[in-house]
């Protein structure tokens, strides 16, 4: 969910679940002796199940539907004919839903947090210092307790003098108080502004000023960051900070004396001693203004209504099987991202418990976890988790690398087990599979599963497209289905969601019950709804989860949102998709990444990049096409290792890597390799970059050239390498 404009997650998320964690996934594989003995036990069921081959029939998951607005090919969820609006009657706003859920589940565990036991620093061999945390077991608040705290906080806000026409902002890492504060604001009809931590100072100043934020709610870490820009935050009056286990008072942090600074618990106390009646919002009231990075210019604030969030919650609830109070969700993605906000709203609706963690403490071997102590997952044993593709990719790479290093019997066994399970998932084996699977799970996959606590039964994945290979891999090794979702901040996450029993890969599932998905022909781009074998076109989303538009930007709102004759809102995503016969959507392209060349051929930059990335020389690539020419060009960050190996073998002399990149021989060699992979991928001649430039420095999220999810940022790259691109066309 949340692809396109609004998809970058804060960078520590992606950075820190690095290969070390992934590697530890498989450390236990030393015990190959036992494994060898098990081999015989496996052979018998293997033979047995071969006899029972069969194929499951595909189920209809989405069906065509008549809708208003621009003509196209529209599909709805096959199981639920009427658009879902609320999870149950009366839960029309997040505030109402919260109150009703808290009453219903009042004694159940709701929010869990780990207490800090100790904080140490270790010094690595290169002199760098690393923080190591020892965290305790989860301590829980019940639904009833959280409700009381949210009510007190809501009253406290009013007692502090938060004025009606202004807004509150939450600028903090994901934690229990985040959700509590959010619900407190909702109870007093206060709109909450959220900002990606990765957006930077200018964006922060812009967003807070644009939305007239008077109450800023943050953690003490963010509060320290604000010290240097206090003078620019002219609308802010109150600052409320979440206490850390060990933070002292905030008086010494050098922040503006114009601000009234209070701690979260002070506000709670204040509210408790002077309770105020709630002021419930309405269905169409704006619950959250979520700032996401735009590809150009200032970030945009997407206005998400209460009705949007409850509709998404209703939609997602109905697709996760048996979701309920027994489920435990591990929360660690940023709540300022729509994927996490939607996921936690779903958990709250279903009465699940939410245990908070962080990307840096997720597993026993995560960077910040003190050796010998537990990571969040093994302390919590979650049944549900959300993830972004970059994390899952790294897990897969890590496990494969470890298997490769082991070599020998271990490697053979892994690949046998993997392939057996793969065929089972693809529906080729029935019969005795149950027994065989148990064996494989015990022998191979249990250890990988245990890294995430051993109880995961469903993973939600969104934020960017997940590769089919990774989806399969995690599926097999974790033994749990992955629900890949598609959606954007503008559609309040929910749009499409893979059903748990769908074992295909590369697709994002049928529309969620809260919306319709329509393909609209884009004639000039060459995608039409009459295409064979599947209808194709721009993805347009309509229904209850489609948000109210961009804050203070009518013009941009009108450009991408349309309201049809029946009053339904439609959002034009700019993504190109196609519908499979069973009603599942596949994302195949991006409208703005398609360029018409001088002779009228359309080329898809993303498609070419995806194809050329398979050259071992290419670490990263951006293809660029000037519409006034007949060919395209490419900027390439070559792989140091592979290129230097080639240079050694070819006897090329060079001082440094940058010189190597500039050599004509080097460029020729990389181009040769590109032509080869282009041919293999059946690219047309005009789709193969005619000229390339090799750039020695990697593109990182810190340099702003790729998103935190490591997707390239075209506009930024274009402007940074303007001269290089121009030279390629000379």
Ligand X SMILES: *[C@@H]1O[C@H](CO)[C@@H](O)[C@H](O)[C@H]1NC(C)=O
Q: Does 232 bind ligand X (CB under 6 A)?
A: yes
In whole angstroms, how close is the CB of 189 to ligand X at the nearest point?
A: 4
Q: Does 93 bind ligand X (CB under 6 A)?
A: no
295 phi and psi angles, rounded to 5 deg: -75, -25
Pick 14 or 287: Cβ nearer ligand X: 287
Whole-angstrom distance, CA of residue 624 vs CA of residue 605: 7
Q: Tell me how far CA of residue 527 lies from CA of 523, 531, 587, 589, 605, in angstroms.
A: 6, 7, 12, 10, 15
Whole-angstrom distance, CA of residue 427 vs CA of residue 68: 39
In whole angstroms, how close is the CB of 168 to ligand X at the nearest point?
A: 12
Cβ–Cβ under 8 Å, residues 101 and 348: yes
Pick 100 or 209: Cβ nearer ligand X: 209
Pick 486 or 551: Cβ nearer ligand X: 551
Ranges within 60-79 binding ligand X (CB under 6 A): none
In whole angstroms, how close is the CB of 208 to ligand X at the nearest point?
A: 9
Q: Does 279 bind ligand X (CB under 6 A)?
A: yes
Ranges within 285-304 binding ligand X (CB under 6 A): 285
Ranges within 651-710 binding ligand X (CB under 6 A): none
Pick 168 or 695: Cβ nearer ligand X: 168
Whole-angstrom distance, CA of residue 342 vs CA of residue 194: 14
**Neighbouring residues of 660: CB distance < 8 A, sequence distance ≥ 6:** 643, 644, 647, 652, 654, 666, 696
In whole angstroms, how close is the CB of 187 to ligand X at the nearest point?
A: 12
In whole angstroms, how close is the CB of 239 to ligand X at the nearest point?
A: 17
In whole angstroms, how close is the CB of 232 to ligand X at the nearest point?
A: 5
In whole angstroms, how close is the CB of 17 to ligand X at the nearest point?
A: 36
Q: Identify which range of 220-228, 278-286, 370-378, 642-650 contacts ligand X by CB under 6 A.
A: 278-286
Whole-angstrom distance, CA of residue 635 vs CA of residue 619: 11
Q: Identify which range of 220-228, 277-285, 514-522, 715-723 contacts ligand X by CB under 6 A.
A: 277-285
In whole angstroms, how close is the CB of 97 to ligand X at the nearest point?
A: 16
Pick 235 or 467: Cβ nearer ligand X: 235
Cβ–Cβ under 8 Å, residues 170 and 194: yes
In whole angstroms, how close is the CB of 92 to ligand X at the nearest point?
A: 12
Do you find a cis peptide bond into 533, omega within 30 degrees of 0?
yes
Pick 279 or 503: Cβ nearer ligand X: 279
In whole angstroms, how close is the CB of 159 to ligand X at the nearest point?
A: 18
Strand 594-596 versus strand 602-604 pairing type: antiparallel
What is the rounded (10 degree) CA torsion for 228, 234, 235, 241?
20
Whole-angstrom distance, CA of residue 210 vs CA of residue 634: 38
- Residue 337: which of 570, 7, 634 has the closest Cα? 7
Q: Tell me how far CA of residue 299 lies from CA of 285, 290, 716, in angstroms.
A: 22, 10, 14
Q: Give rounded-to-5 percent helix, strand, coil for the chain.
A: 40, 25, 35
Ranges within 526-565 binding ligand X (CB under 6 A): none
Pick 232 or 556: Cβ nearer ligand X: 232
DSSP per-residue letters across 116-169: EEEEEEEE-TTS-EEEEEEEEEEEEEEHHHHHHHHHHHHHHHHHHT--TTSEEE
**Counting beta carbons within 10 angstroms of the beta carbon of residue 170, is it exposed (0 to 12), middle (13 to 18) or buried (19 or more)?**
buried
Instruction: Name which position in 106, 142, 209, 700 contacts ligand X (CB under 6 A).
Output: 209
Q: Which residues pair with 369 in a beta bridge?
A: 133
Element containing residue 611 per DSSP (H, E): helix 605-612
> 586-595 — which CB contacts under 8 Å span 24+ positions?
586/506, 586/507, 586/508, 587/3, 587/465, 587/486, 587/508, 587/539, 588/536, 589/527, 590/4, 591/522, 591/525, 591/538, 593/714, 594/525, 595/625, 595/627, 595/632
| Size of residue set near ligand X by CB under 6 A | 8
- Residue 304: which of 418, 214, 179, 186 has the closest Cα? 186
Q: Identify which range of 30-38, 175-183, 280-288, 647-655 contacts ligand X by CB under 6 A.
A: 280-288
Pick 220 or 235: Cβ nearer ligand X: 235
Q: Does 463 bind ligand X (CB under 6 A)?
A: no
Pick 13 or 302: Cβ nearer ligand X: 302
In whole angstroms, how close is the CB of 238 to ligand X at the nearest point?
A: 17
In whole angstroms, how close is the CB of 279 to ligand X at the nearest point?
A: 5
Pick 11 or 211: Cβ nearer ligand X: 211
Q: Does 228 bind ligand X (CB under 6 A)?
A: no
Cβ–Cβ under 8 Å, residues 628 and 598: yes
In whole angstroms, how close is the CB of 480 to ligand X at the nearest point?
A: 41
Q: Identify which range of 6-14, 274-282, 443-451, 670-678 contacts ligand X by CB under 6 A.
A: 274-282
Query: Both tokens of residue 188?
Result: 């007093």
Pick 109 or 306: Cβ nearer ligand X: 306
Pick 96 or 597: Cβ nearer ligand X: 96
Instruction: Name which position in 63, 205, 422, 642 contacts ligand X (CB under 6 A).
Output: 205
In whole angstroms, how close is the CB of 184 to ligand X at the nearest point?
A: 15
Q: Identify which range of 138-146, 281-289, 394-402, 677-685 contacts ligand X by CB under 6 A.
A: 281-289
Site map 345..384 versus ligand X, x via CB under 6 A: ----------------------------------------
Q: Identify which range of 28-36, 141-149, 275-283, 488-496 contacts ligand X by CB under 6 A.
A: 275-283
Pick 144 or 200: Cβ nearer ligand X: 200
Instruction: Name which position in 282, 295, 630, 726 contacts ligand X (CB under 6 A).
Output: 282
Site map 124..163 versus ligand X, x via CB under 6 A: ----------------------------------------
Q: Identify which range of 254-262, 279-287, 381-389, 619-627 contacts ligand X by CB under 6 A.
A: 279-287
In whole angstroms, how close is the CB of 548 to ligand X at the nearest point?
A: 12
Instruction: Name which position in 6, 184, 281, 398 contacts ligand X (CB under 6 A).
Output: 281
**Neighbouring residues of 295: CB distance < 8 A, sequence distance ≥ 6:** 5, 713, 714, 715
Ranges within 159-198 binding ligand X (CB under 6 A): 189
Query: Both tokens of residue 390?
Result: 């970059």
In whole angstroms, how close is the CB of 202 to ligand X at the nearest point?
A: 9
**Neighbouring residues of 593: CB distance < 8 A, sequence distance ≥ 6:** 604, 605, 606, 714
**Neighbouring residues of 65: CB distance < 8 A, sequence distance ≥ 6:** 74, 75, 76, 516
In whole angstroms, how close is the CB of 209 to ligand X at the nearest point?
A: 4
Q: Which residues pair with 461 in a beta bridge?
A: 387, 484
Whole-angstrom distance, CA of residue 422 vs CA of residue 415: 10
Whole-angstrom distance, CA of residue 562 vs CA of residue 552: 17
Query: Both tokens of residue 64?
Result: 């065509």
- Residues of this chain that bind ligand X (CB under 6 A): 189, 205, 209, 232, 279, 281-282, 285
């Amino acid at each position: 969910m949340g692809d396109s404009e609004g998809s970058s997650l804060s960078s520590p998320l992606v950075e820190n679940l690095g290969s070390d964690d992934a590697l530890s996934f498989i450390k236990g594989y030393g015990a190959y002796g036992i494994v060898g003995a098990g081999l015989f036990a496996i052979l018998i069921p293997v033979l047995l199940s071969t006899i029972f081959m069969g194929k499951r029939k595909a189920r209809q998951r989405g069906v065509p539907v008549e809708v208003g607005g621009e003509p196209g090919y529209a599909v709805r969820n096959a199981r639920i004919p009427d658009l879902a609006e609320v999870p149950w009657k009366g839960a029309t706003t997040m505030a109402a839903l919260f109150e009703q859920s808290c009453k219903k589940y009042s004694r159940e565990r709701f929010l869990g947090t780990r207490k800090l036991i100790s904080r140490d620093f270790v010094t690595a061999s290169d002199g760098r210092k690393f923080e190591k945390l020892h965290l305790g077991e989860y301590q829980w608040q019940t639904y009833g307790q959280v409700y009381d705290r949210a009510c007190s906080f809501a009253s406290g806000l009013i007692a502090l003098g938060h004025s009606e026409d202004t807004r509150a902002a939450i600028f903090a890492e994901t934690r229990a108080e985040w959700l509590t504060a959010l619900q407190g604001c909702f109870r007093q009809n206060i709109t909450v502004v959220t900002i990606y931590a990765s957006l930077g100072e200018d964006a922060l100043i812009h967003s807070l000023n644009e939305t007239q934020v008077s109450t800023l709610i943050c953690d003490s870490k963010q509060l320290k960051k604000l010290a240097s820009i206090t003078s620019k935050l002219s609308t802010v009056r109150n600052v409320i900070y979440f206490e850390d286990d060990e933070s002292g008072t905030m008086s010494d942090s050098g922040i503006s004396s114009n601000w009234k600074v209070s701690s979260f618990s002070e506000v709670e106390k204040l509210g408790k001693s002077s309770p105020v009646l709630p002021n419930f919002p309405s269905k169409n009231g704006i619950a959250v203004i979520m700032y996401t990075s735009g590809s150009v210019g200032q970030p945009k604030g997407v206005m998400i209504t209460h009705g949007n969030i409850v509709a998404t919650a209703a939609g997602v609830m109905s697709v996760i099987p048996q979701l309920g109070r027994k489920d435990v969700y591990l929360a660690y993605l940023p709540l300022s991202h729509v994927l996490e906000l939607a996921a936690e709203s779903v958990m709250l609706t279903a009465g699940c418990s939410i245990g908070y963690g962080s990307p840096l403490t997720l597993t026993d071997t995560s960077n910040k976890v003190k050796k010998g102590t537990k990571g969040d997952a093994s302390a919590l044993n979650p049944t549900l988790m959300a993830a972004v593709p970059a994390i899952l990719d790294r897990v897969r790479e890590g496990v494969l690398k470890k298997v490769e290093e082991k070599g020998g019997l271990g490697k053979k066994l892994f690949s046998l087990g993997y392939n057996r399970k793969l065929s089972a998932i693809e529906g080729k084996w029935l019969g005795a599979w149950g027994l065989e699977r148990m064996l494989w799970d015990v022998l191979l996959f249990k250890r990988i599963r245990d890294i995430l606590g051993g109880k995961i039964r469903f993973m939600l994945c969104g934020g960017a497209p997940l590769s089919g290979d990774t989806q399969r891999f995690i599926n097999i090794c974790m033994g749990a289905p992955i629900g890949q979702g598609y959606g954007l901040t503008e559609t309040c996450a929910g749009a499409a969601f893979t059903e748990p029993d769908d074992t295909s890969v590369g697709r994002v599932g049928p529309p969620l019950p809260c919306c319709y998905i329509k393909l609209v022909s884009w004639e000039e781009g060459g995608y039409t709804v009459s295409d064979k074998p599947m209808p194709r076109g721009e993805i347009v989303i309509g229904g209850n989860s489609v948000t109210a538009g961009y804050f203070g930007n009518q013009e941009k709102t009108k450009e991408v949102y349309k309201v049809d004759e029946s009053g339904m809102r439609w959002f034009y995503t700019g993504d190109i998709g196609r519908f499979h016969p069973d009603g599942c959507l596949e994302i195949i392209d991006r409208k703005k990444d398609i360029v018409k060349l001088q002779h009228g051929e359309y080329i898809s930059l993303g498609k070419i990049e995806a194809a050329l990335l398979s050259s071992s020389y290419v670490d990263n690539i951006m293809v660029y096409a000037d519409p006034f020419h007949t060919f395209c060009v490419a900027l390439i960050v070559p792989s140091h290792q592979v290129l230097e190996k080639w240079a050694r073998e070819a006897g090329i002399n060079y001082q440094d890597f940058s010189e190597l990149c500039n050599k004509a021989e080097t460029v020729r060699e990389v181009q040769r390799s590109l032509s080869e992979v282009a041919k293999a991928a059946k690219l047309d001649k005009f789709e193969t970059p005619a000229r390339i430039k090799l750039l020695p420095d990697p593109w990182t999220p810190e340099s702003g050239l790729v998103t935190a999810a490591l997707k390239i940022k075209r506009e930024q790259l274009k402007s940074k390498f303007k001269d290089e691109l121009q030279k390629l066309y000379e």
